[in-house]
Structures are given as structure tokens and as C-alpha cells.
Amino acid sequence: MQTHSLAERPDLLDAFWSIAGDWPTFMLQDPTSDRAYEAAVDGFPQLHLVVMDGDVAVARLHAVPFACGLDDLPPRGWDHALQRAEWLAAKGAPPDLSTISLIEARVAMSRRGEGLSGALLAEARRRFAALGCRDLFGPVRPTRKWFEPRTGADEYARRVREDGLPVDPWLRAHVRLGGRIVQVAPVSMTIPGTLAQWREWTGLPFDEDGLVEVEGGLAPVHVDVANDHAVYVEPNVWVHHDLRPAG
Ligand SMILES: CC(C)(COP(=O)(O)OP(=O)(O)OC[C@H]1O[C@@H](n2cnc3c(N)ncnc32)[C@H](O)[C@@H]1OP(=O)(O)O)[C@@H](O)C(=O)NCCC(=O)NCCS
């Protein structure tokens, strides 16, 4: 298997996009990612990696230049990082790559559970350090949080196993490679919709005020019947990878 950036291999763009996802429908309605997700791939091909097994793309990773540090990590984590990337890409100036934010890692459904994600993250750390990155952040989506949407994100993120590593497998993959959990990004992704849209996205009735749990949601959706809308606010977890050379 070989990993390439889209800057090295622009011919792999179609392969990069060919890895199907399995996000719940509502997760594809974030107004920010609607525009900025693709703009970031075009604008920063050196920060988008694809793992090829022969001719088949089996994993990919998205990242963008980022300007915040440990003291000012934005509560709007994912949305903030992508919005800024879109603006930077539109400006067209050479990006400062000393600080980078991860956006997504995705392993092809047929290849999950083989350890590819850790290898991809390790490769991203190595490559981004070679591009001059010293601080790699990520508004990490804890993959198992949706089994307990009513648990506070901070409590969930801090939960560790007997060996001291996070209980959540995706947070664990980051920490095992040297990442450090910093804080929660409480409003990392905001997805608003009318009640009719939410019914279409989830198949649920959305006919009562309050909190509604949806499959795949890390937190419940807030429903306001009188005003005909519901809003999902996703908490993510800021993780920091210090990529400065040791010593
Ligand atoms: C999250 C994702 C990238 C992990 O990739 P993967 O290659 O399947 O995972 P790995 O085989 O490298 O395993 C990573 C850890 O997760 C654990 N894991 C994998 N699948 C799991 C499952 N279904 N349930 C519980 N743990 C699981 C592994 O045991 C491993 O932990 P450990 O080695 O510390 O025990 C992949 O599942 C994916 O693409 N998911 C959809 C997109 C996504 O959620 N991306 C992350 C947020 S952007």
C-alpha cells in the first residue's frame, strides 16, 4: 500500500473521492461543509492524502492550514477550520503550514478494522512535519460517542481505560500516536433544518419540543415545534499533536 498527497498525484483525485462514506444523511447537511469541504481539497492538495492498494483507494485524510493555537482553540472547531480554509483558498496566497488542522480521516468500509487509520494518521504526522508543521490539531469526532448522546462531551472525552488510553477508539488512535486531548469544541458543527427536513433526513416524527436522539448523532437534536425548526450541534474534541522534532 502507498500513500500519496494530491499535490504529488493530482491524477488520484477521482480515486480520493471514490471512497464512499457512511455518514447518516443529516450529517451531510452542514451548511459550512457544503461549500468548504471541496474547496479545501482543491486549495490545499498537499494536505489531502490518499492510501492506494494497487489501483484501489482504501483510505483518505483531509487537513487544512489553521491559525489558532493552544490558547485560542475555537469552540466552533470543524466549522471554524473549514470556513477559514475556504476563505484562505479563495485568497490564493501561499498558506502558512506551521499550524494545521485535521478535518477527516476515512477508511473504505470494506477495509475497516485493519489498523489502517493509525497508519494513515502516523503518515500524516510525518508528512505534515516535513512541510514545516509544528502544531497539528484536530476537532476529533469520537466515533463511539453516538452510543451515549446524553453524556457530556467532556466527561466522555476524558474517560480512559485501565491502561490510561481513551475509551473511545478514535481518540485512542490519536493519543497512541502522541496526540493530547486539550478541550471540547462544544459547537463544532451546527446543522439547522425545518421539521420537514429533519423528518426527511431521519424518518423520525419531530413533532414535540425538546431533545431528540438521532442515529449517529453525538448529541441530541434541539426541536422547536412552534418555530418549525430543529438544530443539531455536534461537540468534537480538540486534540493536539506536537510535531516539533524531539530534543
Ligand atoms: C474511524 C475510522 C477512520 C477508523 O478506521 P479503522 O481503520 O477502521 O480503524 P483501525 O482498524 O485503525 O482501529 C482503530 C481503533 O478503533 C478500534 N475499532 C475499529 N473499529 C471499531 C468498532 N467498530 N468498534 C469499536 N472499536 C473499533 C480498533 O480496535 C482500534 O483501537 P485499538 O487498536 O486501540 O483497540 C473508520 O472507522 C472510518 O472511516 N469511519 C468513518 C469516518 C469517521 O468516523 N472518521 C473519524 C472522524 S473524522
Instruction: Place domain 2-188+235-242 in its CATH homologous superfamily.
Output: Gcn5-related N-acetyltransferase (GNAT) (3.40.630.30)
Strands 135-140 and 99-107: parallel
* Residue having the nearest C-alpha atom to atom 12 of ligand 1: 115
Is residue 190 within 8 A of residue 178, CB to CB? The reply is no
| Domain boundary assignment for the chain | 2-188+235-242
- pLDDT at res. 33: 85
Q: Tell me the pLDDT of the chain (247 aa) as tens digits.
A: 999 999 999 999 999 999 999 999 999 999 998 789 999 999 999 999 999 999 999 999 999 999 999 999 999 999 999 999 999 999 988 999 999 999 999 999 999 999 999 999 999 999 999 999 999 999 999 999 999 999 999 999 999 999 999 999 999 999 999 999 999 999 999 999 999 999 999 999 999 999 999 999 999 999 999 999 999 999 999 999 999 988 7
Atom of ligand 1 nearest to the CA of 172: 34
- pLDDT at res. 93: 87
* Residue having the nearest C-alpha atom to atom 15 of ligand 1: 169
> What count of other Cβ atoms lies within 10 Å of the Cβ of residue 82?
27
pTM: 0.96
Atom of ligand 1 nearest to the CA of 119: 12
- pLDDT at res. 155: 98
**Is residue 242 packed enough to be buried (19+ CB in 10 Å), middle (13-18) or exposed (0-12)?**
middle
From 99, 86, 107, select the one nearest 31 (Cα to Cα). Answer: 86
* Residue having the nearest C-alpha atom to atom 46 of ligand 1: 105
* Residue having the nearest C-alpha atom to atom 48 of ligand 1: 104
Atom of ligand 1 nearest to the CA of 102: 48
Q: Name every residue whose Cβ is closer than 8 Å to that of residue 217 and which is 6 or more positions away in sequence.
A: 24, 26, 146, 149, 232, 234
Is residue 235 within 8 A of residue 247, CB to CB? The reply is no
Among 49, 104, 114, 143, which is best to mutate for testing ligand 1, by the most ligand atoms less than 8 A from CB?
143
Is residue 54 within 8 A of residue 86, CB to CB? The reply is no
* Residues at CB less than 6 angstroms from ligand 1: 104-107, 112-118, 141, 143, 169-170, 172-173
Atom of ligand 1 nearest to the CA of 107: 39
